[in-house]
């Protein structure tokens, strides 16, 4: 069971250091923290498993605002998210770009959590499976690849897929790709155990609830009893 914290654009270096001092990962569950780029080294120094929130497909070059796998590895970063719904919706990232980022990171020896999921309008139109199929198709097949199903309509909205909805989507994803699948979308201490108990849910990608060490620890503990 893998529980990953995506901090998005939250926490300064001092706040990251304070979180790491207050948080102890429970034994028996794999825990990953994805802090902002400016706090990666602080989190690595704390001894936690650290992923970046994004990585570029080139080793170096004229790509203002981007970061390469080699730069991340030099800091001791173990992996990266790619294709998060906010990157797709707010910054125009594509399925093909997400796949290129994943390929570069994997080739460089990083692990990857590739995010997929449908919007509210796509779900209402009955297009969930076609969207997931499209997003998964270009992704590289690699044993270090993890998929995160994060329905965009449940990101930062307070809405959460029911355990049945999550299970159905995860089962479909696993019919298309041989990889662990995390659920992401308003995961909280009070719903984590039920979501994580689903047979095809292999962990969680946690947003806002991961910013508090006690809240995130409770979610991690839920993974142990699921």
For the annotated catalytic residues, the residue numbers are 84, 150
| CA pair distance 66, 57, nearest whole angstrom | 9
Quickly count: other Cβ atoms within 10 Å of residue 213's Cβ: 16
In sequence order, what are the residues at sequence separation of 6 or more whose Cβ sits closer than 8 angstroms to the Cβ of residue 127? Answer: 118
| CA pair distance 169, 174, nearest whole angstrom | 9
Q: Could you tell me the two tokens for 2?
A: 């893998």
Quickly count: other Cβ atoms within 10 Å of residue 6's Cβ: 26
Instruction: Return the sign of the alpha-carbon dihedral for residues 175, 176, 181, 184.
Output: negative
């Amino acid at each position: 069971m893998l529980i990953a914290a995506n901090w998005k654009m939250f926490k300064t270096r001092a706040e990251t250091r304070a979180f790491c001092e207050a948080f102890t990962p429970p034994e028996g569950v794999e825990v990953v923290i994805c802090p902002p780029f400016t706090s990666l080294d602080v989190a690595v120094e704390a001894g936690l498993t650290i992923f970046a929130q994004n990585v570029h497909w080139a080793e170096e070059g004229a790509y203002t605002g981007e970061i390469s796998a080699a730069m991340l590895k030099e800091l001791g970063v173990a992996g990266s998210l790619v294709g998060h719904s906010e990157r797709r919706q707010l910054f125009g990232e594509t399925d093909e770009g997400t796949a290129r980022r994943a390929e570069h990171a994997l080739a460089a020896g990083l692990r990857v959590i590739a995010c997929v999921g449908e919007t509210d309008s796509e779900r209402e139109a009955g297009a969930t499976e076609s969207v997931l199929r499209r997003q998964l198709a270009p992704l590289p097949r690699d044993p270090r690849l993890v998929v995160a199903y994060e329905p965009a309509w449940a990101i930062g909205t307070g809405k959460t897929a029911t355990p049945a909805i999550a299970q159905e989507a995860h089962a479909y994803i696993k019919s298309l790709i041989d990889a662990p699948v995390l659920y992401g979308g308003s995961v909280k201490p009070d719903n984590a155990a039920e979501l994580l108990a689903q047979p095809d849910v292999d962990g969680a990608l946690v947003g806002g609830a991961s910013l508090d060490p006690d809240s995130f620890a409770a979610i991690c503990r839920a993974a142990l009893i699921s």
